[in-house]
């Protein structure tokens, strides 16, 4: 059995440990560290965006189920992507995807007249890893959980991206940051293309 690479292992441990702290402290971590929209005069006193939230929100989760699915995907795809990119570049890539997802979510929240709500979760980074996996191994067979249908990685990633776009545009799946997921994929793609361009030069 191949040993889990160190950065992926550290990310898993950090997410699980921080969720444990959340469980013990309630909203003590969510208020300062979750991703909040910019302050609005319509909602005085509500938490508002701070620059560090671009990263910190990606280590918080809303429930045990939320944590499980994100960590399962990180475990499934992160190790191989880390071996491909190397430890330092892999960490850079993951964090860029987390930030890209946050920026996309802030843009969406900034154009919606809604009660401020926090965004949490590693999904932006995970979707970036999914994109990298699909680009690196497009013909690798992946199995959907529901329904259990095998398909090549490139098709899996494409369908997932299209589904997220549809759900985001139609407003389906309330409580899920679909545009953050797309932002993570977009940031990951931009990073990979940047590195590819540098390698060619």
Delineate the domains of the chain, giving CATH numbers in brackets: 6-200 (1.20.1540.10)
pTM: 0.90
Q: What is the dihedral of CA 14, 17, 22, 28, to 10 degrees?
A: -60
Chain length of the chain: 201
Rounded Cα distance between 162 and 167, Å, is 9
Mind listing the pLDDT tens digit for each residue in 38-62? 876 555 566 788 999 999 999 999 9
**Start-to-end C-alpha separation, the chain:** 38
Distances (CA, A) of 121 to 67, 159, 193: 8, 21, 25
Q: What is the pLDDT of residue 173?
A: 58
Q: What is the pLDDT of residue 66?
A: 92
């Amino acid at each position: 059995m191949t040993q889990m690479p160190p950065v992926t292992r550290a990310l898993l441990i950090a997410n699980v440990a921080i969720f444990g702290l959340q469980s013990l402290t309630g909203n003590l971590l969510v208020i300062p560290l979750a991703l909040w929209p910019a302050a609005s005069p319509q909602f005085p006193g509500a938490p508002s965006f701070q620059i560090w939230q671009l990263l910190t929100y990606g280590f918080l989760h809303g429930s045990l189920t939320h944590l499980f699915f994100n960590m399962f995907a990180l475990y499934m795809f992160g190790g191989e992507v880390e071996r491909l990119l190397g430890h330092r570049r892999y960490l850079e890539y993951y964090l860029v995807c987390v930030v890209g997802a946050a920026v996309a979510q802030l843009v969406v929240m900034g154009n919606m007249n809604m009660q401020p709500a926090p965004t949490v979760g590693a999904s932006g980074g995970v979707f970036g890893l999914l994109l990298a996996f699909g680009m690196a191994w497009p013909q690798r067979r992946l199995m959907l959980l529901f329904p259990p249908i095998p398909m090549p990685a490139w098709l899996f990633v494409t369908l997932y991206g299209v589904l997220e776009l549809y759900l985001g545009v139609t407003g389906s799946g309330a409580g899920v940051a679909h545009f953050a997921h797309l932002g993570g994929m977009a940031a990951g793609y931009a990073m990979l293309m940047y590195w590819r361009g540098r390698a060619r030069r």
